[in-house]
């Protein structure tokens, strides 16, 4: 999936737009997503999804998988926001309680405030996720590094980011090879067998990754590495007045709507 997303960043219909403008647009939307009301955040999520799926022509199935995977983490943490507990002898039901369940000498209940808090977090998370997804699907990582260097980010940080990004693919490739080898030898049978094979895979993954890292270091030293990576991007970028004006107009409309709701 990560390899597919990386390839889409180079093949989308917005690839010719300057990466700095796309990053600035996404950053502006992210700031608005963090401070706005849930209604504005919902509209922002829909609008950014249009940019990703319609304008960039990202397959909606892949975008849905990315959103669903992120929402699953949000749902996993939602009980901490929704549920409250109290001893049965100390608990008194009021109008703020929406639902309650008795569990022995304890009462677990959901309040209107907790539900509103969870819904607000969900709206903010989805809006912020759409902003990051726009960068993920439309701006190649090499261009992101170029923009970072252009604005003065230290080269040591961009070099570390590039090495970490490369090793994500190394880890996935190595894990897939180990998993295939284990399956070919009759592994992953039953829960206990799967857990044991997973433990062995983690150990082998660490060892092989360190070997790959050592090989990378030796190869860079042999080629005269001078403590500074040079990222070459051959794509030619062109400004689009249509997309620029649409982005500016959308930002202004959302900001005005937020100001009106705040007033």
Question: What's the average model confidence in pLDDT over 204-230?
Answer: 72
Instruction: Band the pLDDT of 45: cuts 50, 70, 90.
Output: very high
pLDDT of res. 261: 81
Supply the pLDDT for residue 70: 83
| Tokens 């260097």 belong to residue | 149
Q: Say yes or no to pLDDT of 234 above 60.
A: no
Please provide residue 111's backbone torsions phi and psi, each rounded to the nearest 5 degrees. -105, 160
Amino acid 17: pLDDT: 87
How much is the pLDDT for 167?
Answer: 72
The pTM of the full predicted model, rounded to 2 decimals, is 0.76
Token pair 């690839």 is found at 15
pLDDT the model gives residue 2? 63
| Nearest one of 182, 206, 176, 210 to 196, comparing CA atoms | 182
pLDDT higher than 80, residue 42:
yes
Looking at per-residue pLDDT, the higher value among 146 and 231 belongs to 146
Q: What angle do CA 210, 211, 214 make, to 5 degrees?
A: 85
> What does the mean pLDDT of the chain come to?
81
Supply the pLDDT for residue 230: 62
pLDDT band at 252 (very low <50, low <70, confident <90, very high): very high
Average pLDDT over residues 115-123: 86
The alpha-helical segments, DSSP class H, found in the chain are 2-11, 19-35, 38-50, 60-82, 112-138, 141-150, 155-184, 190-222, 241-262
In the predicted model, is pLDDT for residue 104 greater than 80?
no
> What is the share, in percent, of the chain residues with pLDDT greater than 70?
90
d(CA 158, CA 154): 7
Range 40-72 burial, b when 16+ CB lie within 10 A, else e: bbebbbebbbebbbebbebeeebbeebbeebee
| Range 50-58, long-range pairs (CB < 8 A, 24+ positions) | 51/14, 51/134, 51/138, 52/130, 52/133, 52/134, 52/137, 52/138, 55/13, 55/14, 55/243, 56/12, 56/13, 56/14, 56/134, 56/137, 56/138, 57/12, 57/13, 58/8, 58/12, 58/137
- pLDDT the model gives residue 228: 63
77 pLDDT tier (thresholds 50, 70, 90):
confident
Burial of residue 219 (number of CB atoms within 10 Å: 0-12, 13-18, 19+): exposed
The HSE-up count of residue 214 (CA atoms within 13 Å, CB side) is 6
Report the side by side order of strands in the sheet with 97-103.
Answer: 83-87, 106-111, 97-103
- Confidence tier at 186 by pLDDT (50, 70, 90): confident
Angle, CA of 54, 41 and 26, to the nearest 5°: 55
More confident residue, 175 or 15: 15
């Amino acid at each position: 999936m990560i390899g597919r997303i990386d390839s889409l960043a180079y093949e989308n219909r917005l690839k010719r737009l300057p990466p700095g403008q796309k990053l600035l647009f996404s950053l502006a939307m992210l700031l608005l997503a963090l401070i706005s009301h849930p209604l504005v955040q919902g509209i922002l999520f829909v609008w950014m999804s249009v940019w990703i799926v319609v304008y960039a022509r990202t397959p909606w199935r892949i975008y849905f998988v990315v959103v669903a995977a992120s929402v699953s983490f949000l749902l996993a943490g939602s009980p901490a926001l929704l549920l409250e507990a109290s001893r049965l002898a100390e608990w008194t039901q009021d109008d703020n309680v929406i639902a309650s369940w008795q569990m022995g000498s304890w009462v677990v209940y959901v309040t209107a405030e907790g539900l509103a808090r969870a819904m607000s977090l969900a709206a903010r998370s989805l809006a912020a996720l759409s902003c990051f997804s726009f960068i993920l699907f439309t701006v190649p990582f090499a261009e992101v590094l170029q923009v970072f260097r252009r604005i003065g980010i230290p080269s040591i940080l961009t070099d570390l980011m590039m090495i970490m990004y490369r090793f994500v693919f190394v880890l996935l490739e190595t894990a897939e090879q180990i998993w295939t080898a284990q399956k070919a030898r009759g592994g992953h049978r039953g829960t206990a067998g799967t857990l044991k094979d997973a433990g062995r895979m983690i150990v082998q993954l660490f060892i092989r990754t360190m070997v790959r890292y050592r090989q990378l270091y030796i190869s860079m030293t042999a080629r005269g590495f001078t403590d500074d990576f040079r990222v070459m991007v051959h794509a030619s970028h062109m400004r689009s007045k249509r997309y620029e004006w649409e982005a500016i107009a959308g930002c202004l409309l959302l900001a005005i709507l937020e100001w009106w709701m705040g007033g």
